[in-house]
Amino acid sequence: MNLKIAVLAGDGIGPEVILQAKKALYAIGVVYHHEFIFEDALVGATAIDKTGTSLPQQTLNLCLNTDAVLFGAVGDPAYDNNSDTALNPAQGVLKLRKELGLFTNVRPIKTYPTLLNSSPLKQEIIDGIDFVVFRELTGGAYYSEKKINQEGTIASDLLEYSEEEIARIAHLAFKSAEKRKNKVTMVDKANVLETSRLWRKVVQNIALDYPDVALNFLYADTAAMQIILNPKQFDVILTENLFGDILSDEASAITGSIGLLASASFGTSNALFEPIHGSHPLAKGKNIANPIASIVSAAMLLEHFGLHEEAQKVHEAVLKSIEYNVVTIDLNPGTSFGTNEVGEFVSNYILNKDDLLYFNNDNVHIGQSTIV
């Protein structure tokens, strides 16, 4: 397969972690005979510095004309609260989502058995959790009309959804549930919000097309509580933009390290893959950022194009790196490995699986030679 991939590494640790994802994809390309052509483009604060805007037209054009986007992270304290939208890195992300029509954001939440003690929750609560958040990404309060009066004392953010916006993501959520554990939990605030009542009506109708999938409803406040109390009850969580933003961060935190989790955003003709963590400016250039979330994002990209075996191989390599304790400081405070070494291990594992089977914790000298 030939794929053209736009690489928007962004700010802070973005470029370091994305480099490791590229290395993993390159290794997959070699082993499975695919050609991945990477084209870099600017986004976020880095783009503001060089071009005066967080999402240059050239970047957008590239994304519109590639098969997929691999995205790092954006954000820089120098710009983050800027009210001039062109000079605000987050606004660049919102514009990119809208322009690419990425209406569905998917965040798988899973635990790694060897890392259970990194979670802030008790092991018995999180052991074996496996759910996915489907967050609507191009509607709701993020994109509806915003107002502030002349005096700057009264502001409002409209929260608007159409049936069509709800239906298109709902179908994807039900289809995903059919391949998983056949359960969709719709999260809303139907006791208060008109939009939530519309979501319920539309989703209930769509559920009729998926008779094997059980549908239940939770209010957003209850859902926030249940994610902590009993996360194993979830399979697919379906929700609107703002609730999804909040709940998916909460869900990611219970697994132990935000540095492990990836996400994918889909539209009708575009797809973007990114780690869920931010740009972490303080860690920039220190070779300490965990590249696994970015590498797993690359696996989601492979999965999206039907390259299941290849995606599995990446997951396997990541599991091995954790098993061999070739991990960054967030997972092991005494580690001697950094971003580069973890990435190197993963790509070398993909390239040389059999040789790596002779490894053990004492003789791994990643970076010089991964073959013993």
Nearer to ligand IPM, 243 or 359 (CB): 243
Per-residue interface string for the shown chain with Mg ion, residues 193-232, x marking contact by CB under 5 A = ----------------------------------------
142, 143, 210, 349: which one is catalytic? 142
**Is 245 annotated in the active site?**
yes
Angle between helices 14-32 and 339-351 (to 10 degrees): 10
Q: Which residues contact 353 (CB under 8 A, 6 or more apart)?
A: none
Dihedral of alpha carbons 370, 327, 271, 47, sign? negative
40, 80, 245, 355: which one is catalytic? 245
Site size with Mg ion, rule: CB under 5 A: 1
Residue 245 contacts Mg ion per CB under 5 A: yes
CA distances from 226 to 51, 185, 332 (A): 45, 12, 29
Could you tell me the smallest distance in angstroms from the CB atom of residue 74 to Mg ion?
Answer: 12
Residue 80 contacts Mg ion per CB under 5 A: no
Cα(273)–Cα(61) distance, integer angstroms: 17
Nearer to Mg ion, 86 or 94 (CB): 94
146, 232, 249, 286: which one is catalytic? 249
130 binds, among ligand IPM, Mg ion, none (CB under 5 to 8 A by kind): none
Q: Which residue is nearest to ligand IPM (CB)?
A: 90
> DSSP string of 203-249?
HHHHHTT-TTSEEEEEEHHHHHHHHHH-GGG-SEEEE-HHHHHHHHH
Structure tokens given for 258: 């935000």
CA atoms within 13 A on the CB side of 103: 18
Could you tell me the smallest distance in angstroms from the CB atom of residue 81 to ligand IPM?
Answer: 12
Interface positions with ligand IPM (CB under 6 A) = 90, 93-94, 245
Which residue's structure tokens are 């519309």? 198
Nearer to ligand IPM, 169 or 317 (CB): 169
Could you tell me the smallest distance in angstroms from the CB atom of residue 206 to ligand IPM?
Answer: 24
**Is 324 annotated in the active site?**
no
Nearer to Mg ion, 130 or 245 (CB): 245
Residue 316 contacts Mg ion per CB under 5 A: no
Q: What is the 8-class DSSP label of residue 253?
A: H
Q: How many CB atoms lie within 10 A of CB 188?
A: 23
**Is 189 annotated in the active site?**
yes
**Is 249 annotated in the active site?**
yes
Nearer to ligand IPM, 86 or 94 (CB): 94
Dihedral over alpha carbons 240, 246, 252, 255 (to 10 degrees): -120
181, 221, 232, 286: which one is catalytic? 221
Cα(67)–Cα(76) distance, integer angstroms: 28
Nearer to ligand IPM, 206 or 264 (CB): 264
**Is 11 annotated in the active site?**
no
Cα(316)–Cα(353) distance, integer angstroms: 10
Could you tell me the smallest distance in angstroms from the CB atom of residue 338 to ligand IPM?
Answer: 25
Could you tell me the smallest distance in angstroms from the CB atom of residue 85 to Mg ion?
Answer: 18
CA distances from 286 to 40, 219, 293 (A): 22, 42, 17
Structure tokens given for 73: 């992270």
* Interface stretch with Mg ion, choices 44-52, 96-104, 241-249, 297-305 (CB under 5 A): 241-249
98, 189, 284, 320: which one is catalytic? 189
Could you tell me the smallest distance in angstroms from the CB atom of residue 261 to ligand IPM?
Answer: 11
Q: How many CB atoms lie within 10 A of CB 294?
A: 32
Enumerate the active-site residues: 142, 189, 221, 245, 249
